[in-house]
Amino acid sequence: MEVRSHTFLGAGEDYEGAKVVLVGAGLDVTVCFRPGTREGPCAIRHLSQCLEEYSLDLEGDLREIPFCDLGDIELPLGHVESALEAIEGVVSRLVGEGKLPVLLGGEHLVSLPAIKAVHRYYPDLVVLHLDAHADLRDEYLGTPLSHATVMRRVAEILGPGRVYQLGIRSADREELDFAREWTRLYRHEVFHPFQTVRPELEGKPVYLTLDIDVVDPAFAPGVGTPEPNGITPAELLKTIHTLEGLQLVGVDVVEVNPAFDRAGLAPLLAAKVIRELLIIWARAEGSPGV
């Protein structure tokens, strides 16, 4: 494969032949603590060059998968609603043309328009949310559209019981009250709760939204809002591998902030997770040679 350092693992630009399409959404507007997630897509692409196309754990090869990287969505600076509309439009086009959208964030708010677009094509959509934070506030700093409110907005769109939240270790009382009625929230761990809920996801279209801060900041310091006592990269990857067999219809990996990660640990982990997900998805689709 020709190495193209500005794309994910040297991905080509053959959109028509691609079944999986990566696209960056470097939104960084409602961040309240550590700005810099706008550079997340670029960092994930750059650190992906450290990886092999072949996955030793899955014994699958990314070179057997027709995927492309479209670069970043052009987002209007300072206009949250317009930026969300732009993301929704791109993802809607991808899903409508039979592609698996893989969104590189960017703050977590980018998940909202992506999930809205996918839900339009899959009315029975369920969302698997891996995160340190519940993100269920009704509003934050005076706005209902924020990285801290995103999963509440998603739950309101999908309806009660359609959002599965794993690894949560930070939330306030209001968020927990909302979760009891609207979401399936599991604290701290990811792998064991996922084994519990996995049977409920079988046969349903699943959108995976991964906030990389679900991992402990000792292993992934480059995030927008770090939270101690998280999971290890090993637990995250073990969970990702058990997604095999589910119907993935959309993916995003968000909150990578390279400004606080000199070693590039968070974007490198994000890149590895994406590689594994692409191989898992391709196998479920019956792609030969994967």
Structural domain includes residue 215: yes
Structural domain includes residue 67: yes
Mean pLDDT score across all residues of the chain: 95
Q: State residue 87's pLDDT score.
A: 98
138 assigned ligand-binding residue = no
Interatomic CA distance for residues 163 and 160, integer angstroms: 8
Q: What is the pLDDT of residues 62-93, one digit of tens each?
A: 999 999 999 999 998 878 999 999 999 999 99
Going by C-beta distance under 8 Å and a sequence separation of 6 or more, which residues neighbour residue 106? 24, 25, 26, 27, 28, 37, 38, 40, 41, 254, 255
Interatomic CA distance for residues 152 and 150, integer angstroms: 5
211 assigned ligand-binding residue = yes
Interatomic CA distance for residues 147 and 125, integer angstroms: 21
What percent of the chain is predicted at pLDDT more than 90? 89
Q: State residue 6's pLDDT score.
A: 82
Interatomic CA distance for residues 224 and 202, integer angstroms: 32
Q: State residue 246's pLDDT score.
A: 97
Structural domain includes residue 97: yes
Q: Which domain holds residue 110?
A: 17-284
Q: What is the pLDDT of residues 127-145, one digit of tens each?
A: 999 999 999 999 998 899 9
192 assigned ligand-binding residue = no
- The answer to whether 24 and 106 are in contact (CB under 8 A) is yes
Structural domain includes residue 290: no
72 assigned ligand-binding residue = no
Q: How many of the other CB atoms lie within 10 Å of CB of 3?
A: 8
131 assigned ligand-binding residue = yes
- The answer to whether 98 and 18 are in contact (CB under 8 A) is no
Q: State residue 115's pLDDT score.
A: 99
133 assigned ligand-binding residue = yes
Structural domain includes residue 3: no
148: Cα separation from own chain's centroid: 15
**How many domains would you assign to the chain?**
1
Q: What is the pLDDT of residues 146-179, one digit of tens each?
A: 999 999 999 999 999 999 999 999 999 999 999 9
Structural domain includes residue 41: yes
Structural domain includes residue 4: no
Structure tokens at 279: 């191989």
Average confidence (pLDDT) over 182-195: 98
pLDDT at position 3 over 80:
no
Element (H, E) at 254: strand 247-254
pLDDT at position 199 over 80:
yes
DSSP-derived secondary structure letter, 284: H
CATH number at residue 210: 3.40.800.10
Q: How many of the other CB atoms lie within 10 Å of CB of 113?
A: 24
Structural domain includes residue 11: no
